[in-house]
């Protein structure tokens, strides 16, 4: 079975600063996908960034980047130049290569302080 | 914005009533999911479907049932609502594509309160 662990229930960061959210996972699969999703208060869950396990290069999307360490089964999210709109719950998720089922972590509540 | 819709957004209903939460997607995705989420908490998979006439129970035991008669629709039904069913219900869909642009798309959720 796959498990996803987010060990930081809550975090805060000053506006314009950088913050890193942690995620570890456990799997026996060799190829899979990892995701970070954002859920703003009372808003729809949206994809922030995606990483394929067979790609060594870390994914980046504007201010968002990941540090993917396959051997350590670690997938952290770095948010640079934090903005007030980044305040949200962030969920790390895992999907096997067959595309069936997403496994979510317990989430990290991030607050950006003005 | 994702083409997946849930209705109603908010529902307050009395104990014992039968309710159906609607979920529709226009992306032609085969895979659809229902998650239960208490406010600010983790997501629990309660049902999923890999296509028409395919439904499976998820990791979290639920008294709800689902159906998948059409690709676009994946309704969730509670035959007799109870206060313990009070929660947010999130519907999602996905399509596995080679090349790496796979993702799950989520609806806006239905916040259910059973009084």
pLDDT, one tens digit per residue, over B23-59 is 999 999 999 999 999 877 888 999 999 999 999 998 8
Residue that is written with structure tokens 């109870």 in the block: B82
- Split at pLDDT 50, 70, 90, the class of B98 is low
Chain B CB contacts of A37 under 8 Å are 104, 106
Task: Name the closest residue on chain B to residue A49, using Cα atoms.
Answer: B103
- Split at pLDDT 50, 70, 90, the class of B2 is low
Cα–Cα distances in Å, from B11 out to A39, B20, B46, B90?
Answer: 21, 11, 19, 14
Chain B CB contacts of A91 under 8 Å are 42-43
Give the pLDDT confidence score for residue B25 in this predicted structure.
97
Give the pLDDT confidence score for residue B85 in this predicted structure.
94
pLDDT of A41 over the 90 cut:
no
User: Which residues are CB-neighbours of A90 under 8 A, at least 6 positions away?
Assistant: A21, A36, A37, A38, A39, A48, A77, A107, A108, A109, A110
Q: Which of B40, B41, B102 sits opposite A95 (nearest CB)?
A: B102
Beta bridge partners of A79: A19, A64
CB contact under 8 A, A99 and B31: yes
Residue that is written with structure tokens 């529902």 in the block: B11
Quote the Cα angle for A42-B57-B89, to 5°: 15
CB contact under 8 A, B41 and A33: no
Q: Is the dihedral of CA A97, A53, B28, B79 positive or negative?
A: positive
Chain A CB contacts of B2 under 8 Å are 44, 46
pLDDT in tens, A99-108: 777 889 999 9
Task: Name the closest residue on chain A to residue B42, using Cα atoms.
Answer: A106
């Amino acid at each position: 079975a796959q498990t996803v662990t987010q060990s930081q229930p809550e975090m805060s960061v000053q506006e314009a600063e950088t913050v890193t959210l942690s995620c570890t996972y456990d799997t026996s699969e060799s190829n899979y996908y990892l995701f970070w999703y954002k859920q703003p208060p009372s808003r729809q869950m949206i994809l922030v960034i995606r990483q394929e396990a067979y790609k060594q290069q870390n994914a980046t999307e504007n201010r968002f980047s990941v540090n993917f360490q396959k051997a350590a089964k670690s997938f952290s999210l770095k948010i640079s130049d934090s903005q007030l709109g980044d305040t949200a719950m962030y969920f790390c998720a895992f999907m096997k290569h067959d595309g069936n089922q997403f496994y979510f972590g317990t989430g990290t509540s991030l607050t950006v302080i003005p | 914005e994702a083409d997946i819709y849930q209705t109603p957004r908010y529902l307050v209903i009395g104990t014992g009533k039968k309710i159906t939460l609607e979920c529709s997607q226009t992306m032609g995705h085969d895979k659809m999911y229902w998650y239960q989420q208490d406010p600010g908490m983790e997501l629990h998979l309660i049902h999923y479907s890999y296509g028409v006439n395919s439904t499976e129970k998820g990791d979290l035991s639920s008294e709800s049932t689902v159906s998948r008669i059409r690709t676009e629709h994946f309704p969730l039904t509670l035959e007799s609502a109870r206060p313990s069913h009070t929660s947010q219900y999130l519907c999602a869909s996905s399509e596995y594509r080679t090349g790496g642009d796979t993702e799950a798309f989520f609806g806006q959720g239905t916040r259910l309160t059973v009084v």
